[in-house]
Amino acid sequence: MSDFDLITIGAGPAGMSAARVAAEGGLRVLLLDEQARPGGQIYRNAGQTRDARAWLGAEYAAGARLVDALEHPGITARFGATVWRLDAGPRVVWSEGGASHSARAPHILLAGGAQERPVPFPGWTQPGVMTAGAAQILMKTAGMLPRDAVLAGSGPLLYLVAAQMIDAGAPPKALVETQTPRMMLRALPHLPKALFAARTLLKGLGLMARIRKAGVRRYTAATDLAADTETDGTIRFSFRSGGAQHSLTCALVLTHQGVIPSTHISRAAGIAHTWNAAQVAFKPVHDIWGATDRPGLYVAGDGAGIGGADAATAAGQLAALDILRSAGRISADARNQRAALPRATLFRARAIRPFLDAAYAPSAETLSPPDETIICRCEEITAGAVRQSVKEGAQGHRQIKTSLRVGMGACQGLMCDATVRGVLCDGKSACMGRIAPPRARTPIKPITLGELAALTNDCKETA
Amino acid sequence: MKIASRFQASPESGAVQFQYDGETLTAPAGIPLAAALLAHSGGFSRQTAGGHDRTAFCMMGVCFDCLVEVDGIPNTQACMTPVRGGMVVRRQIGLRRLKGGSDV
């Protein structure tokens, strides 16, 4: 017997909107998220922050509405709940407060979102180098503002973080952008379609205007990124731009090269994946409702392909509608009718992606960094060591992993899979698409042996 | 050498106290432990098996560079752990042994 009708893994915009629609339709929903509070990363802490920290912007504050909508008798929400196994059946096993629990449901929605693409360069492992997303999380959860920071890399999030820092009175010291005029040229043919997302385009232009007005120094087409630490902790950040070598001293370097779907859980579940050349990442294969080739398993949000928060909210609603149909609560006609609005939202939100994907494509050295760069942070393995093992005959992720332990540390490859693929292919997208992602196995997040040992034949069924 | 925080301190109140390698720190209750450690110092909160400095990097549970010992439990992700009053937090130098502690 099932404990719930739907288990949603991830409480970001997709998971939250799906939970609400499903619960309103009469389903019993279990919502699991490994963070302490709902919101995902985009609306991180939005339920607590409310209108405080106005510099985070109105779009962030709007996330509180999705958080509030979780107050529904049909929704059981568990936070600090890290899913580490997904079984056919389907059954979900998660770790919470040092013990494992499990629950069954005929429908599971994977809404685990995205992670930032790793941005390896010499020195990126040192304290003082973080991701731009990490800085934003510190702003959202603790009101902490980066001090004397350089923003480096590419992508809309870089501009958003810069604008938020400016509005909060802590402007970045410089913006070091890796995108080239050629990338922008390649993006131009996608501009007409992007006009369907005119509001987002205007927002982006507004961000850039604020950055210009604040007088933040900008470098473009930057290459050869490297960071060094002085004994007092000061970071010396060097790079090439405009034919010259530059060196900036700062307290923080915040890097970003876009986001990629978190596919560990969907791969471990055995769902088919496909290479998205425009986004230079794998994503799970799914239909317009988010249904996958595995019975009962749905995907929605950035974990199904990068589209942003509005697209994720709409995709969550679409998945919930099809789950309601599958559960016999609504007819296919009713589902289709109610899908019109979220589909229109999804179309508009996605219209700008081809433009953004082309304009802010990851830099060549992000995909295939120089030899001395550590690419596996856990096991401290360099790009050069990977290239050497390939020369010695290692083929594919698996053999490289066996010979070097790349991807065998605590993060289980989350921080190096993308780079190993890039190094193997010299950064060429078509080649990367042919290299199957490494197997993702249970437990997909580390748990203690003690916790495993405490499991009886069947896991402790949760109430 | 004490390395200054790379962040401007939060003006927010609601402070609780916790121990960090014998030092008493204050932080707003409920913020991620990693945030409190970054507000305290710009230096390392962990050293790798190779002896290299690390601290929180992704703040969202992906990279595992913020691992610390919390109330005797090693390899705890500081970015996923809300600050509570009375916590005892220790930096991790090198890898953990099966029965706790390290070889260093």
- Please answer yes or no on whether B7 and A134 come within 8 Å at the CB atom: no
Contact B57 A143 (CB under 8 A): no
Query: What pLDDT is attached to residue B102?
Result: 64
Q: Which of B5, B11, B50 sits opposite A380 (nearest CB)?
A: B50
Per-domain boundaries in chain A: 6-115+260-330, 118-257, 369-424
Fold topology of A6-115+260-330? FAD/NAD(P)-binding domain (3.50.50)
What are the tokens at A383?
């790009």
* Chain B residue whose CA is closest to A80: B80
pLDDT of residue B85 exceeding 70? yes
Q: Do B61 and A35 touch (CB under 8 A)?
A: yes
How far does A330 lie from chain B, in Å, by closest CA?
37
Q: pTM of the entire structure?
A: 0.95
Of A5, A8, A24, nearest to A71 (Cα)? Answer: A24
* Domain range A118-257, CATH class: alpha beta
Domains: count for chain B: 1
Distance from CA of B91 to the nearest CA of A (A): 14
Tokens for A250, please give them: 């700062």
d(CA A157, CA A373): 24
A252 pLDDT band (50/70/90 cuts)?
very high
- The answer to whether residue B85 sits within a structural domain is yes
Q: Is A125 in Cβ contact with B82 (below 8 Å)?
A: no
CATH classification of A369-424, choosing from 2.60.40, 1.10.3470, 3.40.50, 1.10.10? 1.10.10
From the list A138, A143, A149, the residue facing B38 with the nearest CB is: A138
DSSP string, A204-221: HHHHHHHHHHTT-EEE-S
Question: CA torsion angle for A95, A97, A100, A106 (degrees, to 10)?
Answer: -60
Fold agreement between A6-115+260-330 and A369-424: no
Is residue A408 within 8 angstroms of chain B, CB to CB?
A: no
pLDDT category at B96 given cuts 50, 70, 90 is confident
Of A133-147, A348-362, B11-25, the least confident: B11-25
Closest CA to B56 of A184, A125, A336: A125
Among A27, A28, A33, residue whose Cα is nearest residue A12? A33
Helix runs in chain B, H state only: 33-40
Residue to substitute from A50, A82, A115, A138, interface B, most B β-carbons within 10 A: A138
pLDDT tens per residue across span A316-332: 999 999 999 999 999 99
CATH number of residue B69's parent domain: 3.10.20.440
Q: Looking at the partner chain, which of A125, A131, A380 has a beta carbon nearest the beta carbon of B58?
A: A131
Question: Is B58 inside any structural domain?
Answer: yes
pLDDT tens per residue, range A435-450 = 888 889 899 999 988 8
Any domain includes B4: no
Inform me whether the pLDDT recorded for A461 exceeds 80.
Answer: no
The answer to whether residue B10 is domain-embedded is no
- pLDDT confidence of B99, banded at 50, 70, 90? low
The predicted structure's pLDDT at residue A1: 54
Which of the residues B1, B2, B5, B7 would you substitute to probe the A interface, choosing the one with the greatest number of A C-beta atoms within 10 Å? B7
- Domain ranges, residue B54: 16-93
Amino acid at B76: T
SS3 of chain A: helix, strand, coil, percent, to 5: 40, 25, 40
Cβ neighbours of A34 in B, within 8 Å: 61, 80
Mean pLDDT to the nearest integer, A239-261: 97
pLDDT at A174 over 90: yes
pLDDT digits (tens, 9 = 90+) for A222-237: 999 999 999 999 999 9
Note whether B43 contacts A127, CB cutoff 8 Å: yes
With a cut of 80, say whether residue A356 has pLDDT above it. Answer: yes
Q: Is residue B1 predicted with pLDDT exceeding 90? A: no
Chain A positions touching B25 (Cβ under 8 A) are: none
Asked if the Cβ–Cβ distance from B36 to A142 is below 8 Å, we say yes
Average pLDDT over residues A289-299: 97
DSSP assignment, residue A18? H
Q: b/e string for A222-240 if b means 16 or more Cβ within 10 A? A: beebbbebeeebbbbbbbe
Nearest by CB to residue B28, choosing from A35, A127, A142, is: A142
Contacts of B48 in chain A (CB under 8 A): 380
- A388-446 pLDDT, tens per residue? 999 999 888 889 999 999 999 999 999 999 999 999 999 998 899 998 888 898 999 99
Spatial distance between the Cα atoms of A373 and A355, rounded to a whole number of angstroms? 30
Query: Closest chain A residue to B43 measured between Cα atoms?
Result: A127
CA distance A116 to chain B (A): 8
A137–chain B nearest CA distance, Å: 7
Asked if A79 contacts A11 with a C-beta cutoff of 8 angstroms, the reply is yes
The verdict on a CB contact (< 8 Å) between B60 and A251 is no
User: From the CB of residue B101, how many other CB atoms can be counted at a distance below 10 Å?
Assistant: 12
Query: What is the rounded distance in angstroms from the CA atom of residue A207 to the CA atom of residue A156?
Result: 9
